[in-house]
Amino acid sequence: MPSHRTHDEGNSAIADLLRALASVEAAPPLRAKYLEAAVAIAALGRPIAALLRPDGSLEPVAGVSPAAARVVVEIVTTGSSPTVERALARSRPPARSGRAPAARDTFLDDAAVAAMLADPTLAGPSLADYRGDLQMHSTYSDGSQPLEAIVATALARGYEFAAVTDHGYGLPVAHGVSMARLDEQHREIDGLNAAHAGRFRLIKGIEANIRPDGTIDMTPPELRRLEIVVAAPHGALQSQADQTARFVAAVRAPGVHILGHPRGRKRGVRAGVRVDWDRVFEAAARTAVAIEIDGDPRRQDIDHVLARRALDAGCLFALDSDAHATDEWAFADIAVAHARLAGIPCERIINCWPLDVLLEWAAGLRA
């Protein structure tokens, strides 16, 4: 996915808004402060979003006054700035459109991902800490990769394990795999694992669907046949209704290990569900269900902003590519970049655990 955008795209958008704010600010000292902050942020060598503290304040940046920092925090956390919008609305005629960078600001492009992976000041996981991918799709459902290709690609990336998580039978639109086909897949996995014993381990997984009422579309006996269950929403994603109860129910459902692409957002398509995430994270922390950072560049779900709140709630995390093809495995790097921005320590990331620890945790949550 080649990109010609620079890593400071978000910074430029924020600097533009601060310049717009300066242009309608009547008081010269304040106007100068906003302009100075715009220059400082545009010249910053990393996304200013990375400087957001867990308590919602901004780390000090030279040239960014407290008033400017307040605007930055508004934009970074919500995608828009009521302060700027109010100031522009008051001015006649409006100096600029004043459109905020919106939610896309939390999407990282290739250059931003590379910068986050290389930034030694970030406390989160490195690629070397990452032992295996826990969401991917094979030719058994809607993926293009046979199981042998999954093993070969995992070995080439230096992984110790990978979970095959094809869609379950409840999602025929994604060629969900029947329980009979799943038995065939498990026999094939057993053969591959025997061939790579001590070196690499395929994990028997599934991506089950979370129904709109929060129940999982597979039975507990079916889920017990799997080692890792990713539960993810694939419907009612455009609804404007509050769906907190749906997601709290999903992380409390027996047999669920990972809450997959929780928001259901898709870049340029939909913003995702309306949920009180702090309540879902609190429930997930209690049940030890991992919150996924899905690295698909169109998803990036959850992003680093929400991930910090999940971290504060005490959650575990899964960082996954959601690869449907062998050339999509690098999507995991995008998830790692978000985890670094959020400062998630390795002990909270199940992909960074030794295989035996991972399997022990998984067995403890089995339906």
Q: Which is nearer to Zn ion, 10 or 233 (CB)?
A: 233
Considering only residues 121 to 140 of the shown chain, the ones binding Zn ion according to CB under 5 A are: none
Q: d(Cα 249, Cα 72) in Å, to the nearest integer?
A: 35
Contacting range for Zn ion; rule: CB under 5 A; set: 31-39, 155-163, 225-233, 336-344: 225-233
What whole-number distance in Å separates Cα of residue 135 and Cα of residue 302? 14
- Which pair of tokens denotes residue 173? 């639109």
Token code pair at residue 179: 């329980």
Shortest separation between residue 294's beta carbon and Zn ion, angstroms: 8
Contact region with Zn ion (CB under 5 A), list: 33-41, 49-57, 231-239, 337-345: 231-239
Stretch that binds Zn ion, among 26-34, 177-185, 224-232, 284-292 (CB under 5 A): 224-232
Give 73 or 318: the residue with its C-beta nearer to Zn ion.
318
CA 162 – CA 325 distance, rounded (Å): 14
Q: What are phi and psi of 330, to 5 degrees?
A: -70, -10
285 is a site residue for Zn ion (CB under 5 A)? no
Nearer to Zn ion, 107 or 200 (CB): 107
What does the alpha-carbon distance between residue 122 and residue 18 come to, in Å, rounded to a whole number?
26
What is the size of the binding site for Zn ion (CB under 5 A)?
1
Span interacting with Zn ion, options 36-44, 46-54, 228-236, 309-317, rule CB under 5 A = 228-236
Residues within window 180-219 making contact with Zn ion, judged by CB under 5 A = none
**Minimal distance, residue 207 CB to Zn ion, in Å:** 5
Minimum separation from the CB atom of position 230 to Zn ion (A): 8
| Contact status: 232 vs Zn ion (CB under 5 A) | yes
| Residue whose CB is less far from Zn ion, 75 or 208 | 208
Please give the single-letter amino acid code of residue 319. L
Cβ proximity to Zn ion: between 141 and 351 the closer is: 141
In the complex, which residue's CB is closest to Zn ion? 232
Q: How far is the CB of 211 from Zn ion (least distance, A)?
A: 14
Which sign, positive or negative, has the C-alpha torsion 346, 349, 352, 356? Answer: positive
> Which DSSP category does 352 fall into?
G
Using rule CB under 5 A, residue 174 touches Zn ion: no
Query: Which strands make up the sheet holding 290-294, listed edge to edge?
Result: 132-133, 161-164, 201-210, 228-233, 258-259, 290-294, 316-320
Q: Which is nearer to Zn ion, 76 or 164 (CB)?
A: 164
CB of 240 to Zn ion, least distance (A): 21
Residue with tokens 């295996």: 132
Number of other residues whose CB lies within 10 A of the CB of residue 298:
14
Q: Is the separation of the CB atoms in 143 and 165 below 8 Å?
A: no
Q: Which tokens belong to 196?
A: 């790579």
Q: Which residues bind Zn ion (CB under 5 A)?
A: 232
